[in-house]
Amino acid sequence: MRRKVLFVTMILLAAALLSGCAGGPVRGATWPGLAADENAAYLADGPYVFAISLKDGKELWRYPAETDGDFVFYSTPVVTPDGLVIVGSAGKNHSLIALDPNDVSTSNNNVNSPGLAWTFNEARDQWVAPPLVVDDKLFAVNADGFLYVLDLQDGQSTKKAVKVAHIDGRLWAQPTTDGGRVFITSLDHSVIAVDIETYEVLWHEDIGGAVTGSAVLGPDGMLYVGSLASRLEKIDPASGRREPVLEAENWIWSTPSLDGDTLYFGDLNGRLYSFNTTAGRLNWAPVQPDGPITASPLLRDEYILVATESGSLFALDRGGKVLWSQEVGGKIYTTPVAAGDLILVAPLETEFYLAALDQNGRQIWTFTQGN
Amino acid sequence: MWDLFVSIFVNVLIWIYDVIGNNFGIAIILFTILIRIVTWPLNAQQMKGAAAMQELQNDKDWQAIQKKYAKDKEKLAQEQMRIYRERKISPFSSCLPTLIQFPIIIALYQSITRSLGSTPLDLLKLSRSIIFPFLNVSDLIPLNSKFLWMDLGHPESIAILGFAFPTLALIVAITTYIQSKLTMPASTNPNDQSAAMSKMMSIYMPLLLGYFALNFASGLSVYFITSNILGIVQYAMQGKANWRNLLPGGQKKVK
């Protein structure tokens, strides 16, 4: 009898442990996506996309109204000029959806939820990258290796999907454009240029390491991109010819932030780099806040704000001197967002989902589901 | 400690993946063979323990004791422990390999998802999991998750007439059932707890592993199937496979 109980207990324990680590529609499977407009913050955080009032941190609406096990959201929401909120699911459901905040209704469980302007269901894998809005089109890249070009109004594909990456060429970063070309980065170690009108692949350059961030168009007309080969690369957008310009200490995860002719970016050793694209060298020796950096630095007039995995924010002046630091808590992987006078931070492993801070790092409000 | 355990799995898997030319499915199969080799002493112990328990269950003296103390459970338990001591039988030795499977399954599941880096956080964790200095993981990322018709990072199914047919889950359940049936000892004693336990396992384990295969990354199913086939081959080569158990009423024929 005792052995039977032991056996059944072990089975249940194993089932519970496996289920617990299956990465279902729960918070914390990975870090959330965060965006804002002048009224609300939009947080894609596991089972829900939340709209949160910037005034007081109260929930304005959430999507879906009730948990749907097939939806997992963590790609950064994109707010279109028409006010639609576009976000993709990384769950079993691979939809890219356009939410209409002007069409909010209250569901049976007394939750406000926006209407769906459209959904796009043809992608075969998860949505990690936010789409790029160019005029009336969306350039959306999926982890299935395809670029989907959609009509912004109805989400219909304007052309059959374009295969831009090799097998397992997961596309995790928002594309960028110079007006004539769309530049896509891939985990298959590539940067790819696609003609913005014909959607033809113009060039496909192997840079020797997976790329998780977007390419940045520098003031010199060149593309700059960091990679998990721990290098910053300079790429000619016309030909795709590349030149490594900086060796970092560890993986460069995020998209560099461009300020004039200077790129700011961090690495997983926790170093913050300030690279002058004109001079082709660092402005100052890398500074090391207090933990690995996966978020892009947030540029403000007065300072550069760096978030670390240790859960801290560091404000540095353009010379690399720390002006102030603030411990937010948890682990910060998501790039902080500025919304008016507020700085929004979405840490993992904290009781709250989102914190709003003032310009000096003082906490104004926090948001948790249900508050 | 647990994270180190998972990290070792991750490193071995990625090392095999690198050596064999970037095929994660083959890496899982070779890794499973490695696990079987490492746990070989435990399996041998299980077979030895099962044989000893079997011998005991068919022993006339033990059956007499069971009869004598049928209404005195406490005394029966004392006698049982005495016989275990005298004959140097460990009652849990036959369960241990099965129980050890669970942490291996959980660690393997975590190492598969971490190695494939299917979410940003998994990929970040992978960067911290590399402990073999000769592994240049940034060259290998992203690992090729495709194997045959499967994406090893996702649950598997094949669309047949618009219906998602869970092929691997069925194969896992069937091979688990076959393995447990083949290793089920023949018993003539109706009070044989060991036989009752084996029978229970032959029902629950295929269902449980089939459920896992249905819901979790198909890389885990590759492990289950390989492990089951190796188990069947191992028992067959040692001449210990009880093929008659697979037939309806096979247990009765043993009598």
Instruction: Convert the pLDDT of each residue in A61-75 to its tens digit.
Output: 999 999 898 999 999
pLDDT band at A13 (very low <50, low <70, confident <90, very high): low
For residues A250-257, give the mean pLDDT: 97
User: A129 touching B, CB under 8 A?
Assistant: no
Give the pLDDT confidence of B85-119 residue by residue, as tens digits: 887 777 666 666 667 777 888 898 889 889 988 89
Residues of chain B neighbouring A128 (CB-CB closer than 8 A): 119-120
Please give the pLDDT value at position B234.
82
φ/ψ of A178, rounded to 5, equals: -110, 15
Query: Looking at A44-48, A145-149, B195-199, which range is the least confident one?
Result: B195-199
Tell me whether A271 touches chain B (CB under 8 Å). Answer: no
Q: Alpha carbon B77 to chain centroid distance? A: 30
pLDDT of residue B92: 67
**Which pLDDT value is given to residue B203?**
81
ipTM of the complex: 0.91
| Nearest CB neighbour to B120, from listed A7, A21, A30 | A30
Give the model's pLDDT for residue B63: 81
Q: What is the pLDDT of residues A173-224, one digit of tens each?
A: 999 999 999 999 999 999 999 999 999 999 999 999 999 999 999 999 999 9
pLDDT number for residue B194? 62
Min Cα separation A4/chain B (Å): 7
pLDDT classification of A17: cutoffs 50, 70, 90 = low
- Give me the pLDDT at residue B185, please: 63
- Residues in chain B within 8 Å Cβ distance of A228: 127, 138, 141
Task: Compute the average pLDDT of residues A241-261.
Answer: 97
Q: Say whether residue A62 is in contact with chain B using an 8 A CB cutoff.
A: no
Give the model's confidence band at B14: pLDDT under 50 very low, under 70 low, under 90 confident, else very high: very high
- Whether A26 has a pLDDT exceeding 80, the answer reads no
* Min Cα separation B80/chain A (Å): 14
Residues A158, A161, A166: CA angle, nearest 5 degrees: 155
All residues of chain A having their beta carbon less than 8 Å from the beta carbon of residue B17 are none
Average pLDDT of chain A is 92
Residue in chain A closest to B220 (alpha carbons) equals A18
Asked if A253's CB is within 8 angstroms of B124's CB, the reply is yes
Averaged over B166-192, what is the pLDDT?
80
Residue B49 has pLDDT above 90, yes or no: no
Pick from A255, A124, A276, A130: nearest CA to A191 = A255
In our burial notation (b when 16+ CB lie closer than 10 A, e otherwise), range B38-63 reads ebeeebebbbebbebbbebbeeeebb
- Pairing, β A262-266 against β A272-276: antiparallel
Distance from CA of B246 to the nearest CA of A (A): 23
The DSSP 8-state label assigned to residue B172 in this structure reads H
The percent of residues above 70 in pLDDT, for chain A, comes to 91
* Contact check, Cβ <8 Å, A30/B200: no
Is the predicted pLDDT of residue B229 greater than 90, yes or no?
yes
Domain total in chain B: 1
Q: What is the pLDDT of residue A361?
A: 94
Under DSSP, is residue B245 helix (H, G, I), strand (E, B) or coil? helix
Helix (H), strand (E) counts: chain B = 12, 4
Res A23: pLDDT:
43
Query: Which runs of E-coded beta strand occur in chain B?
Result: 146-147, 150-151, 158-160, 163-165
Give me B19's structure tokens. 């050596």
More confident position, A42 or A125: A42
The reply to whether A115 touches chain B by the CB within 8 Å rule is no
Q: What is the mean pLDDT of residues B25-38?
A: 93
| pLDDT at A22 (0 to 100) | 47
Distance from CA of A87 to the nearest CA of B (A): 16
Angle between helices B193-215 and B167-182 (to 10 degrees): 170
φ and ψ of A88, to 5 deg: -105, 155
Query: Is A21 close to B193, i.e. CB distance below 8 A?
Result: no
User: What confidence category does residue B253 fall into, taking pLDDT thresholds of 50, 70 and 90?
Assistant: very low
Helix (H, G, I), strand (E, B) or coil at B151: strand
Q: Which residue has the higher pLDDT, B95 or B24?
A: B24
| Contact residues of B toward A, CB < 8 A | 91, 95, 99, 102, 105-106, 109-110, 113, 118-124, 127, 138-139, 141-146, 193, 197, 200-201, 204, 208, 211-212, 215-216
Name all domains of chain A by residue range, CATH numbers in brackets.
Answer: 135-247 (2.40.128.630)
pLDDT for B138 equals: 87
Picking from B197, B155, B160, the residue whose alpha carbon sits closest to that of residue B172 is B155
Residue B40 has pLDDT above 90, yes or no: no
- Find chain B residues with C-beta within 8 A of A13's C-beta: 102
Given B106, B118, B200, which is nearest A18 (Cβ)?
A: B106
Give the closest-approach CA distance of B102 to chain A in angstroms. 6
**What is the distance in angstroms between the Cα of B123 and the nearest Cα belonging to chain A?**
10
pLDDT tens figures, B197-217: 667 777 888 998 899 898 888
Q: What distance in Å separates the CA atoms of residue B20 and residue B26, rounded to the nearest whole number?
A: 8
Chain A residue with Cα closest to B106: A18
Among candidate residues A337, A365, A338, A300, the one with its CA nearest the CA of residue A76: A337
pLDDT, averaged across chain B: 82
Residues of chain A contacting residue B121, judged by C-beta atoms under 8 Å apart: 29-31, 333, 348
Residue B255 has pLDDT above 50, yes or no: no
The per-residue pLDDT for range A315-368, each reduced to its tens digit, is 999 999 999 999 999 999 999 999 999 999 999 999 999 999 999 999 999 999
Single out the residue of B163, B158, B156 nearest to residue B222, CA to CA. B156
* Interface contact A11-B142, CB threshold 8 A: no
Q: What's the pLDDT at A233?
A: 98
Range of the domain at B66: 2-254
Q: Specify the 3-state DSSP secondary structure of B146.
A: strand
Predicted confidence at residue B250, as pLDDT, reads: 58
